[in-house]
Structure 1
């Protein structure tokens, strides 16, 4: 069977932020599949205002796709980045040389195509040690490192003239727990004004009650554009701002993509490694509490990830960012908080670098060492990178945490035995209870989760069992 000359198709039927995080993949697909048409199925209410800033692609609305507009042609590649069942069903119905992501087969079973898409599936309630950004996970099954390494994003634009004092405050988020409260924003408006900066309240129509509460708590006149701008107008307004202070939300990703410097207040059940501002040169502020190192859902009361995040400290940080030079950020001390700068790794992937005086002198903690280890391990096993970084990461963990490393080594054989039992009896596709993950010590859960979804996805065939147990054997050899 020959290679199709048809187009490349991406299904991204999630929210605005997910669509913005698909833009790097669209760039890479155009480079890796030159001369082919690039089609994107997305929600029209999201893609229409983003067309001026999107990489070139032919966008198709979901109603058009559902009515059969995509059928009757052969595709070179279909990439499904959506979790919706109808997207998986559509991916299963289309004809393509290669399919990546969730695909619903004629037998009614949902299968995930692609080792990295399976890795992303394994992160559900299991993302504490993940060190791969969603935008990179969109691409790692198809895009070589040669393409990511040769991609250079322009740094955020430097403010000029009067706009150097204008600071956008995005007050909304998909869930209340993923943003600071109205009292915080009211205090932040006051602190910014005291420093000679000009705050502008931004948000969607659903955020108007929050804006009203902010105004009630602080009656000093501040420009309030919450609910008054379309998405396209919000993008245009961002060009007159020097900085956007924002929770992890869709407009943050659009702002970063369009060159507006962002300070991401990372609170609630989000992980900046998963969904922080993607392009290099942006900033993320996160609590140093152990439970804030990366979570899928909040399991503790009291909002620990908000402790230390005060209006005064955030306003002082904003003033430092705007009045530069950038080296001043390296000398900051912010007890209880961790400031990150976004950057690119040697593979051309997303990275976070800790900033601040105390961070420069601090040795990596166990959580950070675990993240470094699993990043190197999965790059080795899923993308064919070298194993020396894995060995070096394990040796660093042993040197810094010898007792922990010894305990981890003793726990690995039990994981191997339980994985072998699962391999002997797993069938039925994805959706079964995650028994292997539930009984595994936290450090080993990245591999346990990946083995579990891999076996379930492939009905524990001999080939998949051999592949999964091979990961364990390779790991044992490193240890």
Structure 2
């Protein structure tokens, strides 16, 4: 008798589908005898199938039929109502992600709920989305057993420039790309302009400004051909977009120009030894810009970015650690993996990190790891101790806000009253990642007594550690 399939629902953009590939690899490891089925958009999976892990792909029009059978596991990574309704109707002992529950949604899985709660509230998030897809599959939050590729240059002196992104705010303009390409060409590098049909006009403008008409391949290649061409690159310079994730998955060295409403710790390159360049501003990594203009985008100037590209290329060409320094107003990072196998972003600079934000992100990462697996207490204590040592006033304020939150929740529990809809937003920014998660958790349990008790129990576990981690 054939084994029940594993079903994954991922009905978003190309980049989201590629970020699902590590999950497909892991599912194949955990259920080697079960067929792996994926629901995705045909415009993306038809081109990506030759590159994807072994799976059978279906369009969303098949959801009605797919909902009628049993699965060994079903994982919904989509916000689509059709996906949630499919999850509600199918049979499976393992369901993760949004599941329709009458007129509402029930999020199943600790980390799937965490990921959902990041909407409009991801400022202090330190988890990469590709990692969050995997963490609910085991009781221990360790991804050390999951293999991650390392980038390798082709040795051709070709540098791909991915011109477009889903929003104009997330990509440089034509003038930037043109000046950058001319500087690279002057350094005996060969720029290649990459993009889909949506970037044809942009590609033509950059080609006209530079005179590099042969470099413009925007709209001229299929996705499979783009993937093949990426294998000939020494480096791919790209905003946070689908082709960036494709290059990263294929093992192409990447320099991610991270600008606009994107967070490099959650959707930047996931492989180790990639590069991320973003503005040296405390507001980077927002969900949506609330400022009058995109200061993070204005920090990117062609000359210093070209210098960074050339320094990285020299290191890749000589197989040595390149000497790369930050440019004014920009911060350069290198991706990696920690002892748990989780994605990391380490600043490459001779100057010490002045902002407390990376430490705060690491503290909240350890706090959620501890709530999921109590054996991670030592990690949380270690990071809290570092925060107390380097930023004592912040650590004290953080502990006070956690204690105050305990009192607020205890009062609501006694009164058996739900939290107001804007409760999580009204909390101080330094604890909002936690209050957003807690609020959604309580909504997920319909503010039941059991949900309240668990929320207060989690707060009670964190409060003494935040107050005194020693």
Query: TM-score, normalising length from structure 2?
Result: 0.93
Deviates more, 1:376-385 or 1:46-55: 376-385
Residue 47 of structure 1 is matched in structure 2 by 45
Which residues in structure 2 correspond to 1:27-106 (within 5 Å)? 27-66=25-64, 68=65, 70-105=66-101
2-structure distance, mates of 1:178, 1:205: 18
Structure 1 residues 384, 52: closer, same or farther in 2, change over 3 A? farther
Report deviation, 1:400.
1.4
Secondary structure of the residue that 1:263 maps to in structure 2?
Answer: strand
Query: Which residue number in structure 2 is paired with residue 297 of structure 1?
Result: 288
The equivalent residue for 1:367 is 357
Please give the secondary structure, in 2, of the residue aligned with 1:410: helix
Q: For the structure 1 residues 401 and 146, does the alpha-carbon distance in structure 2 shift closer, same or farther, using more than 3 Å as the test?
A: closer
- Structure 1 residue 198 corresponds to structure 2 residue 193: no
Cα distance between partner residues in 1 of 2:353 and 2:331 = 14
CA shift, 1:356, in A, is 2.5
Please tell me whether residue 468 in structure 1 is matched to residue 464 in structure 2: no
Retained in 1: the 8 A contact 2:67–2:87? no
- Structure 1 residues 73 and 168: alpha-carbon distance in aligned structure 2, compared to 1, 3 A threshold: same
Q: CA deviation at 1:222?
A: 4.7
User: Which secondary structure does the structure 2 equivalent of 1:426 belong to?
Assistant: coil
SS at match of 1:214: helix
Contact 1:29 1:143 in 2 (8 A): no
Number of the residue aligned with 2:159: 167
What is the Cα deviation at residue 402 of structure 1?
1.8
Task: Provide the C-alpha distance between the structure 2 equivalents of 1:89 and 1:449, rounded to a whole number of angstroms.
Answer: 25
Q: Shift of residue 331 of structure 1?
A: 4.9
Who is 1:447 aligned against? 434
Query: Alignment partner of 1:265: what SS?
Result: strand
The answer (yes or no) to whether the contact 2:326–2:348 under 8 Å persists in 1 is no
Q: Distance in 2 between matches of 1:455 and 1:14?
A: 27
1:220 Cα deviation after fit: 4.5
User: What aligned pairs does 1:144-155 form with structure 2 within 5 A after superposition?
Assistant: 148-155=143-150
Q: Who is 2:314 aligned against?
A: 323
Q: What residue in structure 1 maps to residue 407 of structure 2?
A: 417
Residue 382 of structure 2 aligns with which residue?
Answer: 392
From the superposition, tell whether residues 421 and 58 of structure 1 become closer, same or farther in structure 2 (CA, over 3 Å). farther
- The residue that corresponds to 2:333 in the other structure is 340
> What is the count of residue pairs matched by the alignment?
461
**Which has the larger displacement, 175-184 or 392-401?**
392-401
**8 A Cα contact 1:16 1:250, kept in partner:** yes
Residues 7 and 37 of structure 2 are in contact (CA less than 8 Å); yes or no, is this contact kept in structure 1?
yes
1:310 maps to 301
Give runs of ≥4 in structure 1 deviating > 6 Å: none
- Whether the aligned pair in 1 keeps the contact of 2:141 and 2:373 (CA below 8 Å) is no
Instruction: Determine if contact 1:32/1:143 at 8 Å carries over to the other structure.
Output: no
Distance in 1 of aligned mates of 2:111 and 2:288: 22
- 1:379 equivalent in alignment to 2:369: yes
Question: What do the CA deviations read for 1:23-47 (whole angstroms, capped 9, x no partner)?
Answer: 1011111111221111111111111
CA distance in 1, matches of 2:37, 2:453: 37
Would you say the 8 A contact 1:419–1:451 is kept in 2? no
For 1:28 and 1:385, how far apart are their aligned partners in 2? 23
Between the aligned partners of 1:221 and 1:230, the Cα distance in structure 2 is: 19
Unmatched 5+ stretches in structure 2:
none
How many angstroms apart in 1 are the aligned matches of 2:323 and 2:459? Answer: 40
SS class of match (1:477): helix
Deviation of 1:256 after TM superposition, in Å, equals 0.7
Match for residue 132 of structure 1? Answer: 127
Give the 3-state SS of the residue equivalent to 2:188 in structure 1: coil
Q: CA deviation at 1:327?
A: 5.1
Instruction: Provide the secondary structure at the position in 2 that maps to 1:35.
Output: coil
Please give the TM-score of this superposition, normalised by the length of structure 1. Answer: 0.92
Give, in whole Å, the separation in 1 of the partners of 2:257 and 2:103.
Answer: 42
Superposition CA RMSD, Å: 1.9
The match for 1:235 among 227, 230, 244 is: 227
Measure, in 2, the Cα distance between the counterparts of 1:35 and 1:144.
22
